Amino acid sequence: MKFPVVTVTLVTAALIYVVWDQSQEKPGPVDPSRFANLAANPAERGTVVDWAVDQVPQLCEDAFDAAVGSDAHTDCVKRSEKREPACRRAMADRFPGMVTSEPVFRDLAISAMNCLVPQSARLQ
């Protein structure tokens, strides 16, 4: 039986990548003042979506009028985490890569927040 060199190489490369990725420092929360002058200092779409994702705990708290740590709040946050990849794809399809104006920022932020914590969840 032949030794599976290609398979071992691919698995090793994948493991090295995972270890490397886990060792990278994660960026801190985005400061809202970053979006104050988008005409002079445009923001990447991903940065705006990251900021919207950071707002999820507060959105869930407002949506259910529930304290952080309550069952309703925890469920809301978990559902939002499950929706995040689909929401990021949807925002990538609908908005430009660089956000250069306040109206685009507002539309992107509101769309991302509504995707992460839908209005129907807020009305329950």
More confident residue, 121 or 40: 40
Mean pLDDT (whole number) for 28-48:
87
pLDDT at 113: 93
Q: Residue 88: which of 36, 51, 37 has the closest Cα? A: 51
Residue 65 pLDDT > 80: no
| CA–CA gap between residue 45 and residue 63 (Å, rounded) | 25
Does the pLDDT value for residue 122 go beyond 50? no
Portion of the chain with pLDDT greater than 90, in percent: 60
Whole-number Å distance between alpha carbons of 98 and 116: 21
